Chains A and B, each alone.
Chain A
Amino acid sequence: MAMISGENLVFGHDKALNNPISFSLKEGDFVCLMGDNGVGKSTFIETLAGMIAPLRGAVKLNNHLLGNIGAHEKAKKIALVLTERPSIDFLRVSDILKMGRSPYLDFFSRLMDEDLHIIEQKSKFVGIEHLKNKFFNELSDGQKQRVMIARALIQDTPILILDEPTSFLDFKATADILILLKKISVEFKKTVLFSCHDWNFVSKICPHIWLLNDKNLITSSPEDLGMSGLFPNLSPALDFDMSSFNYWPREGQSSFIEVNFFTENEKANLWFQHFCRRNNIKRDPAGKRLSYVDDCWYLENESFKDLRSLEKALLK
């Protein structure tokens, strides 16, 4: 059964951002929302979460109109992680985690055993239990994002929606967060929808991709998007390399130096391919002979301790 569905939905703050779209999000779905900056991903997410009303059409949660569900009831169904972060002095991580339980708490916000158990369990799952007594402002961006995700998990809703959870994060933290989201969707059978720009990573873990493109919503899989040619060829400055499923800057004018390369070393072979691609070096059997022996590169009879010094010699 569809948990969230949209029927002929048009969203936007004042002015419509899209053509009418219909979609449905089912239990346990793991969906990445993609699209260029400014295309309305955040507005779409706010509309899905019922924070702003649709301009036309309807969003339904379990077949009830989202607008008719009270804020309190909605807080038990949909949890959000937004791009904004609290920046209050003396706010502890444990305080923030506790707020995740607030839709279930009485007037005095007393935590029952069950609440404490959920907070304990979820913060362990996200790997932040050692940060509990720290002030939120002291944490790194990656840790802050983990705390906000833990808070959303503690809200204990069947649906989790995240607006660009990996913005401002470094490569490692980005990977950690996306893998964590996948784990959350599998472990707790939650419906997870998040927006992200990292096609390289998302296409490898996400079965469903929703692409906001040219005022329409395309619901597809990474491979079908690849087949259709819509993704991954959005920028004229980039080429998609099918062999590595990776992007390369489109080749400009540069000198071609012809080199012939032999080695049995698999790693050296792969990284030399990378080297050639980056420098527009053409491999040619009739060119200069390059070899890799005992951690050293040899161009004809000249030796180089690494590819950097080889690059200098080749391109001077």
Chain B
Amino acid sequence: MVSDNKVKLMIGLLPILIILLVGVDLSLGEMTPAGGWAHIFSDSDFMVVFINIRLARVISAFAAGIGLGVCGILMQSFFRNPLAGPYVLGVHTGPMVMMALLLLGGDIFGQNFFAESSRIGISFICTLGSFAILMLLLTLGRKFSSKSSLLIIGLLLSQMVSGFINILVGMSKAENLKSLTLWNLGGFERTVFRESLFLLIVVLFLSLLSFILSKRLNILLLGERYSVTLGVNLKKVKYLVIVISACFVGIITTLCGPISFIGIISPHIFRRLTLCSNHYYLIPGSAMVGACLALSADIIGQALTSFYIPLNGILGVIGVPLIFFYLFETREAKWQ
């Protein structure tokens, strides 16, 4: 089978690419160890910077990429919609509201919730936000059958949420607004080492849980009714997918900001390269493509210009044309 070999080749090549990107990303920055890279461990000042800034940043880019890649494939398979993804459907807006409430709450309610809790704690609150948005999407999406209506529902929900955030913004002071705006741009540079390790562990655990769902997600490709006749407990799968996706989006968004397009694009890139729709391969494959994209975006942001280009700037400029490409490509394929 030709496609099987393609899949195995890609699964083998992607880790090498990730290692290369990790190496490049780690070496970027103004500081170099005294006496060159060979003496990296003897320069203790450099090690502090290296671990707390660069390593933390690379680990969070790697983890966020994996998480978004897996989240993308989960949502696309569950909604059976190639255009589904955490950012496109507006799942990130749940955490955004929570963040806005926490960051700007001090100005409005006279008490700043953000100051007293760690960002890891906040990530759990934000998970509730993404869970709420996913449940809304699920209930509203049920009422419509067309694939694009899900996108429109996602868009409308995002609009509603940003309206709400705008109200909060109008009521707050300038210095708090800046931190919200910075967070909104997305980026891996603001996580400290402890947070990035937390992110990595959670993401790997959630990815493993998703991988366990592979068999059921494969059957789900036939359609919901068929999967019931094949003995799949649809309710269980539904709640697992929703909870896992909500955790992915909630935690990644809290720590790295709302990151656009990696979630929707990663599964498509891997599928297109391998022509495979088997989740046993799709989940690890999409995870690795996601990690490559996140690391590349981080590298481009640092290396291209003297100032740092925000993550969502790069991803938006590259991501949207990729989605257009996908839409036109599939439309042509349908007519052939």
Contact = CB atoms under 8 A, between A and B. Distances in A.
A89 interface: yes
Main SS class of interface, A: loop
9 contacts: A76-B231, A82-B226, A86-B226, A90-B277, A92-B277, A99-B221, A99-B222, A102-B215, A109-B215
Given A80-B226, A84-B223, A86-B221, A74 B215 contact: no
Interface of A: 49, 51, 70-76, 78-80, 82, 84-86, 88-92, 95-96, 99-100, 102-103, 105, 107-109, 133, 155
A107 B215 CA distance: 7
Contacts of A75: 229-231
A72 B233 CA distance: 9
Contacts of A96: 222
A49 B221 CA distance: 20
Contact of A95 (B223, B228, B230, B278): B278
B231 A88 contact: no
A99 B233 contact: no
A139 B80 CA distance: 20
A107 B222 CA distance: 18
A84 B230 contact: no
Contact of A86 (B3, B222, B233): B222
Interface string B225-239: 110111111000000
Contact of B231 (A84, A90, A102, A133): A102
A17 B231 CA distance: 27
B204 interface: no
B136 interface: no
A109 B229 CA distance: 17
B230 A88 contact: no
B276 interface: yes
5 smallest CB-CB distances across A and B, nearest first, come from A75-B231, A72-B231, A80-B229, A90-B277, A71-B231
A126 B32 CA distance: 68
Interface string B217-253: 0110111011011111100000000000000000000
Interface of B: 1, 3, 80, 82, 212, 214-215, 218-219, 221-223, 225-226, 228-233, 271, 275-278, 280, 330, 333
A99 B280 CA distance: 13
Contact of B218 (A74, A76, A103, A109): A109
Nearest to B225: A82
A70 B230 CA distance: 11
Contact of A133 (B1, B222, B223, B333): B1
B82 A90 contact: no
A271 B278 CA distance: 55
Nearest to B224: A84
Nearest to A87: B80
A6 to B, nearest CB: 19
Given A75-B231, A80-B229, A91-B277, 15 more contacts: A72-B231, A73-B231, A74-B229, A74-B231, A82-B229, A84-B223, A85-B223, A88-B277, A89-B271, A89-B330, A92-B3, A95-B278, A99-B218, A99-B219, A102-B215
A95 B277 contact: yes
Nearest to B234: A71
A22 to B, nearest CB: 24
A153 to B, nearest CB: 14
Contacts of B231: 70-76, 102-103
A80 B231 CA distance: 12
Contact of A89 (B1, B212, B277): B277
B271 A95 contact: no
Contacts of B232: 71
Contacts of A133: 1
Given A89-B330, A107-B215, A155 B230 contact: yes
A73 B233 CA distance: 12
Contacts of A102: 215, 218-219, 230-231
B83 to A, nearest CB: 12
